[in-house]
Amino acid sequence: MADPLSSLPGYLLRRASAATLAELNQRLMGEGVNHADASLMLVIHANPGITQSEAGRMLGIQRANMVPFVARLETRGWLQREQVDGRSQGLSLTGAGATAMAKWRTVIDAFEAELLERVPAELRCHVVPILRYLWNDR
Amino acid sequence: MADPLSSLPGYLLRRASAATLAELNQRLMGEGVNHADASLMLVIHANPGITQSEAGRMLGIQRANMVPFVARLETRGWLQREQVDGRSQGLSLTGAGATAMAKWRTVIDAFEAELLERVPAELRCHVVPILRYLWNDR
DNA sequence: TATTGTTATACTCTATAACTATA
DNA sequence: TATAGTTATAGAGTATAACAATA
């Protein structure tokens, strides 16, 4: 059965992305979160006081779609808002959020390490640079 | 603004995939198709008589989701079915489908070439192998 | 005038379960 | 018993347009 797509970088990018994302979400499921929740928490942890619009720009998520996203994490008690000025709210992790995120981070770090190990050692140093070149979007 | 994600292979994979996919769909929009339509047509062109279940397995699309997908392309006059046995239908391109697809293919080939050219020449030969290593799903 | 948070909404993609007809 | 095609449906994820309040 001929596969005319499996040598196309764009196609491989899409399939590899979908497969690895599903795998990460599988591992995070036990913690009751998905990759998006975890990545937002990582961004806020690295930038306490960041607004949801700023976090959304960093993650490639639109303002409007950040609203229910942030609200859900807030409801779970993992992050809190603090009014910065009349229109902006700074986000930060709660104590429970920081504790929970530390666990997610070990899952993510282990996953990312395994991902890299799938690539032969002599090519491994090229993975991140190549992906950055392919991601032209910034 | 610190970005704790931009050195993670899995995250870069996802963002690069989303960005390039959007770009390809932008280019195909003028032809009235998207990447999924085009990739199914490429698979059928390379494997005349393939069933929609087989094509779905190759593309990572479930049986149930192939139904409206194939039906839409058939309605547009780009592919046809031929009963193989009592339960299977072989798919093939119509003349109009082959003509249309030839145009899409030039768009795709140009896009894939540009994608590769974003990577410095000395790393370029590692792109496809690395993506295959990362895609563990077969 | 631009930006933040917000609401509402629509559209696509994907996942699941079930059914039938056939191999 | 396994497979192909199908239907229906639910859940994500994403995109757009609009509005009020604020900078």
d(CA A88, CA A52): 8
For B68-102, write each residue's pLDDT tens digit. Answer: 999 999 999 999 999 999 999 999 999 999 999 99
Model pTM score: 0.96
Residue of B nearest to A16 (CA): B135
Judge whether residue A138 has pLDDT over 60.
Answer: no
**Distance between the alpha carbon (CA) of B100 and the C1' atom of D3, Å:** 32
- C-alpha to C-alpha distance for A123 and A120, rounded to whole angstroms: 6
- Crossing angle of the two packed helices B127-134 and A127-134, in degrees rounded to 10: 100
- The pLDDT assigned to B24 comes to 97
Beta-bridged to residue B79, according to DSSP, are B93
How far apart are the C-alpha atoms of A121 and A108, rounded to whole Å?
A: 20
- What's the mean pLDDT in A47-63? 98
CA distance B81 to chain A (A): 18
The tokens for A114 are: 């395994």
Q: At residue A136, does pLDDT exceed 90?
A: no
Question: Above 90 in pLDDT, residue B137?
Answer: no
CA distance B26 to B36: 13
Predicted pLDDT of residue A121: 98
* Residue A13: half-sphere exposure toward Cβ, Cα within 13 Å: 27
What is the average per-residue pLDDT within A4-24? 97
Residue B28's pLDDT is 97
Query: Which residues of A in 62-81 have their CB below 7 Å from strand D's atoms?
Result: 62-65
Q: What is the mean pLDDT of residues B45-71?
A: 98
CB contact under 8 A, B19 and A135: yes
pLDDT > 90: percent of chain B? 98
Mean pLDDT of chain A: 97
Checking if the pLDDT of A130 tops 70, the result is yes
Do A130 and B127 count as a contact with CB atoms less than 8 A apart?
A: yes
Give the residue nearest to nucleotide D5 (CA to C1'). B87
Question: Which chain A residues contact residue B119 at CB under 8 A?
Answer: 130, 133-134
A56-113 tens-digit pLDDT: 999 999 999 999 999 999 999 999 999 999 999 999 999 999 999 999 999 999 999 9
Nearest to B17 among A1, A14, A47 (CB): A14
Query: For position B136, what pLDDT does the model report?
Result: 82
| Residue A45: closest C-alpha in chain B | B4
Q: How far is CA B130 from the centre of its chain?
A: 19
Separation between Cα atoms, residue B80 and residue A98, nearest integer Å? 56
Per-residue pLDDT, averaged over B25-33, amounts to: 95
- Asked whether strand D has any atom less than 7 Å from the CB of B55, the reply is no
> Helix, strand, coil % (nearest 5) of chain A?
65, 10, 30
Q: Give the three-class secondary structure for A50.
A: strand
Q: How far is CA B9 from CA A83, A84, B46, B131, B136, in A?
A: 34, 34, 32, 11, 14
Taking the CA of residue A67 and the C1' sugar atom of nucleotide C6, their distance in angstroms comes to 7
CA atoms within 13 A on the CB side of B36: 10
Question: Which DSSP letter does residue B50 get?
Answer: B
Quote the CA–CA distance of B50 and B46 in Å, as a whole number. 9
Q: Specify whether the CB–CB gap between A111 and A96 falls below 8 A.
A: no
* In the predicted structure, residue B126 carries a pLDDT above the cut 70: yes
Specify the 3-state DSSP secondary structure of A34: coil
List strand D contacts in B 22-41 (CB < 7 A): 22
Residues of chain B found within 8 Å of residue A9, distances taken between Cβ atoms:
112, 115-116, 127-128, 131
Nearest DNA or RNA nucleotide to B60 (CA to C1'):
C14
3-state secondary structure of B92: strand
